[in-house]
Amino acid sequence: EAAIERRNRLKARLDALVVNPGLKAAEQRVRDLSERAIHVSKARSDRANRQREIDDGEAQLAALRRMLGLPADADLAPLIPDQSALNLVRSAADEMVERRPGLASARKRLGELVASLAAIDDRLEAARQAGHNAPPEASSSAFASLAAQKSAHQARQQALDTDSATLSGRLKALGFDTIDALATLPCPSVDDIRSEQAARETLTSQIEDQAKLKRQAERDISAGEAEIGALQASGTIASDASLAEARTLRADAWRPIKTAYVAGQLPDDGAARLAVADGLEMAIVSADELADRRAAEAERAASLALALRRVAEARAAVMAAEAETAALVAQGEVRIAQWGNSFPQVLVKHPELASLLQFAQARQLALDESERLRNSANALALEEAQLAPAVELLERIEQSRKLDTTLSFAARVSAVQNAISRHEQAHAEYARDTRDREDLARQHKLVEAEVQQLSDAQAAWDAAWPAATGALGLKPDISPADANSAVTEWVGARGVLTAIGQARQRLKRMDDDETSLAKDVRSLATELAIEIGEDCVVAAQMVLARFTDNATAQTQYDGVLPDFEEAKVEADQAQEALGTAREELATLAASAKLDGGDDGALLNAASRCETRMALCNEIALAERTATDVGDKLDLATLRAEWDERDLDEVRAELSEQTSRASEIESEIEAAILAEKAAKDDLAAYLSQSEVNHAVAEREAAAAQMHLALERYLELSVARELVTSAMATIRAEQQDPLIARAGELFTATTLGEFAGIETDIDDKGHPVVVGRRANGGIAAVATMSDGTRDQLFLAFRLASLENYANATEPLPFIADDILVHFDDERSRSTLDLLAEFGKTNQVLLFTHHRSVRALAEPLAQRGLANIIDLDRAA
């Protein structure tokens, strides 16, 4: 009965679901109409904006229409002038605006110059009448120190007279009437007298020294003779002389014996031979004794010899002192005689050298004072001669200007200076006015020519202005400012008219889209026999709603149909199973001894069987659960393990597990609710209204993206233009030092870099970058060590060239700057340094033989010199 009831219920649901196959077949057309309806709806909301753009554009053109005298609805598109006509009017207006103040200023300046010339002419005429056109006969500076010089001259003259009187008194004291008598008197000089005193004192001192030497020598003689006497009193001393004398006697005694022995002529008399032999023996004994005694008495002999030598030397010293004393006395007598013969007159009054020295000193002072007074007199005479022209000029000026000559000399000089200063000032003003008039005359001529030129240009402008403004539809008498405004309006009108045309084209396209949508919606609705509204957007939405409902019904129908087929099969199977069950029931009733027709008894028996079956199932479930949670142990093992457990503990644990199971069930229910909510959200997203809303948002986002893209393109193009302009300006205005460094950098890098440029880093700071040959930019931090060294070298050489052009060349000294260069770049750098060395001295130190090898070709060509520094040095 349940299966049949389910089948009938599903059959009723299927019969209630009505699906339009035609509407389903037109799905693409319906969705297309819905999409177009969205666009039309958006266009309707945008229509006001487009209309506002048209109104704003028309408002912007209102001023131009008023300038042209046209009605408010006049079409300006056919009247748009050529750009050349606009440029002509604008240039003419700008020319007039620029020329008008210049012409007014020139005319005003011309009037000012005429007035200035008239005033200067009046002043010049007054100066000529006063005689100020000629310079003064003398400068006031010529008398600046005349009064002081005159006063100083008089003071020096008085001092000279006083000193002359003092000199006369000193001459009287010396016994002379005139300075000439004193000067002609033969008298030794002070230096000669002092020299003579020194010479006489020297002779006296030398005589005394010789007397001292004589007395000392005599004392030495007395002491030596006493010492000799004491030494000789103890016997003859075996001195060298006595030893020499004994040896001479021995030789004399031996010589005849030797001669007779050699000649074989010995005396026949034995006594004679004995006497000769005894004599020889005595001489030998005497000599030997003296020799022995000499060794024993060496110190006594040396003392005797020294005493004898001192006595002899002292006697010689006495004789030398006596001789030297006699010579010195004679020399002194000769010197005194010569001195007396040289200055006999003065020695009569001053025979002593001390008195003569005082006289000579007084005489020399008087002569020096006389010479000084003579020089002072000559200087005063020269000063008087030098002052005479100035005084004469002063007197002449006083006469010509009729000044008071009774005043003091200083007052007279001051009056003359004041008069000359006034004349000089007036003459300077006359000269300045003359120069100013020449300048003003030149300016007047130039300004007059400028006024004439500007007037001619104004006349030509007045003739060309009506034609130029007429080309724009303007009045001939329009002002340049208004004409400029009209040109500006015309320039802006091009864009405004273009924008108005685009807005109107968009409105027309909106109308066409709406008309097309209404036609297509009406056609589809007629085909599908759907009632729609008059508004095409609403009609499209109604068709879409009918399509959505039809799709929903189709979905529901497709979902219920399998359940219906399944229920139909289940109903058939249930009827067949019911027949089979009745047969089995009759068999079971017979076996249970029940009446097969008594349904109550059968139901009661069936209920008891179901209860028993349920209990058996619970028992089996409990056993399986015990086995599952008991690690798959059999029931006997579990009973043996759990028989000892307290029932209360088991119940407590059961209660805890039950609570845990309840919590898990709550979590499962929460998860089921969350899943249901998610499914509801998914169903909401899949609903047609949400899809339409998403489509609308997508279209709005797409429109915003288009606007953003247009703005991005505008900004990107503007940025590229500004960047390009900045690069162009930077290249045109590049520092000559950077340009030259770029050329040197290109040469040293063998063309890998095209130059050096300036740039701005991320922090806004100016930096230097390298421009590669392919156009790329390389920052200094990204360059290799060698390239960076070449960059710095290029800047250093460029700076030295710049300095040399301004002042004088400086030497360039470098130490191993090629250490990071490869061979090719090292060779090019050496060539560059050789070229640089033609104007500056270049010294390159290196300890790398490879650099020396690369420089040898330059040395062979005479472009470089290679010097090996000795390591030991």
pLDDT value of residue 873: 40
CA triple 845-850-851, angle to 5 deg: 35
C-alpha to C-alpha distance for 469 and 749, rounded to whole angstroms: 61
855, 859, 864, 866 alpha-carbon torsion, rounded to 10°:
70
Average pLDDT across each block of 10 residues of the chain; the chain has 873 residues. List them in order.
76 74 77 81 80 78 74 72 75 74 81 86 82 74 72 78 80 76 78 82 87 86 82 63 73 77 72 77 75 64 77 86 86 79 74 76 79 82 78 74 77 77 80 85 85 80 77 75 74 73 81 83 78 78 78 76 79 79 75 71 79 87 77 74 72 83 88 86 69 73 85 87 72 71 87 84 80 85 86 88 82 85 86 88 88 88 84 43
* Longest CA pairwise span in the chain (Å): 227
Question: How far is Cα 848 from Cα 311, in angstroms, rounded to an integer?
Answer: 87
- The string of DSSP letters for 293-323 reads HHHHTHHHHHHHHHHHHHHHHHHHHHHHHHH
Name 183's Cβ contacts closer than 8 Å, sequence gap at least 6: 367, 370
* Residues contacting 816, CB < 8 A, separation 6+: 845, 846, 847, 848
Phi, psi of 848 (to 5 degrees): -100, 125
**Residues 11, 579 contacting (CB under 8 angstroms):** no
- Short-list 380, 378, 410, 373, CA closest to 394: 410
d(CA 578, CA 572): 10
Are residues 527 and 23 in contact, defined by beta-carbon separation less than 8 angstroms? no
Could you tell me if 490 and 61 are in contact, meaning their C-beta atoms sit under 8 angstroms apart? Answer: no
Give tens-digit pLDDT for 38-71.
Answer: 888 887 787 788 788 777 877 877 777 777 777 8
**DSSP, res 761:** -
Helix, coil or strand: residue 842: strand
Residues 6+ apart with CB under 8 A from 225: 311
User: Rounded distance, CA 56 to CA 503, Å?
Assistant: 11
Would the pTM count as exceeding 0.85?
A: no
- Exposed / middle / buried, residue 793 (Cβ in 10 Å: 0-12, 13-18, 19+): buried
pLDDT of residue 813: 92
Q: C-alpha angle 813/817/818, rounded to 5°?
A: 135
Tell me the C-alpha distance between 280 and 286, whole Å. Answer: 10
CATH superfamily of 734-860: P-loop containing nucleotide triphosphate hydrolases (3.40.50.300)
Angle of helix 270-296 versus helix 240-263 axis, rounded to 10: 150
Domain boundaries, the chain: 2-81+478-565, 734-860
Number of H helices, E strands in the chain: 23, 5
pLDDT one-digit tens code per residue, 725-759: 766 766 655 577 888 888 888 888 888 888 888 87
